[in-house]
Amino acid sequence: MPDAMRPVLVIGSLNMDLVARCTCLPTMGQTVFGDDFFTAPGGKGANQAVAAARLGARVAMAGCVGADEFGRALTNGLRGAGVGTDNVLSVDRPTGTALITIDAQGSNTIVVISGANAACDIALVERALAGVDDPGILLLQNEIPAEATAHAIRVAHAAGWFVILNPAPARALAKELLPLIDIIAPNESEATAITGLDASDRAKARVAARRLVSQGARGALITLGGDGAIYCDPARCLHCPAVPVQAVDTTAAGDAYLGALGAALAAGRELPDSLGFAAAAAALSVTRLGAQPSLASRAELADFIARHGTPTPEALPR
């Protein structure tokens, strides 16, 4: 991408994913046989950074790993994808991990052990933001301490960054932070937890998105899996359909979406076009196994779009 394009900075988590595949997810107290096991680099922050970088964005990552094999593998994976790692710090804690179980339909359950991610602090946030000459797109999630995320929102907004918060996993958000967020981007369950409103379908998600906007968010984007995504801001509401595909593994689909959205906005694309581009990136990711292994290069996504098209967002009543 040309240097004139806006930079993308991701402040967030890095995890090594420990993945078990099985026919069905176990219920409470049940033991099931698995079909396969593998490890793959992950963590919402690292996933979004890799997704944006593979699509050509100029990306830097800030976060913490342990001084262990997993930490070295995650850092090397970021570098291999073209992500700047000057602010990926090695700390005296084990690297974060995620225990993931995937069923035959591609649905999953995930347990995250924060480890080194808990060491991501305000000092690292300030160092990362100060290390970028011109403000661009900031991607944040909720897998690092809340104090670090809140500080990043405040400082980045004041400096002119376009702030995207993926509030996953869901936790309480100070209402004074919402007006500082350009796009808050939960999935349906996270939107329900944050707003107290059912966001399980398109119509309900529109109401929940409008609630977030009425509370101060500049824009609210609720992803709905196979039913696409709802976006609302004070001037409009849009529904962007998903690209229909056969899902193999939905792990990191939301990260593929947000990384692609950040890359598109950094490239100067308008928001509706960026939503369609992100939908295509997410669709391609669910046809592949693993978190970062599922994330497309620019050439791979271009080929996918040539075959499947890019969805066009449709206006909804406000």
Round to whole Å and give the CA distance between 228 and 101.
24
- 258 pairs with which residues across the strands? none
Round to whole Å and give the CA distance between 234 and 210.
8
Give which of 75, 81, 77 is closest to 62, Cα–Cα.
75
Round to whole Å and give the CA distance between 157 and 116.
26
Checking DSSP bridges between strand 220-223 and strand 229-233, what pairing results, if any?
antiparallel
Q: For residue 195, report the phi and psi dihedrals to the nearest 5 degrees.
A: -95, -20
Q: Which token pair is 281? A: 């990136």
Which residues are known to be catalytic?
Answer: 255
Round to whole Å and give the CA distance between 253 and 142.
16
Q: Which token pair is 236? A: 């409009």
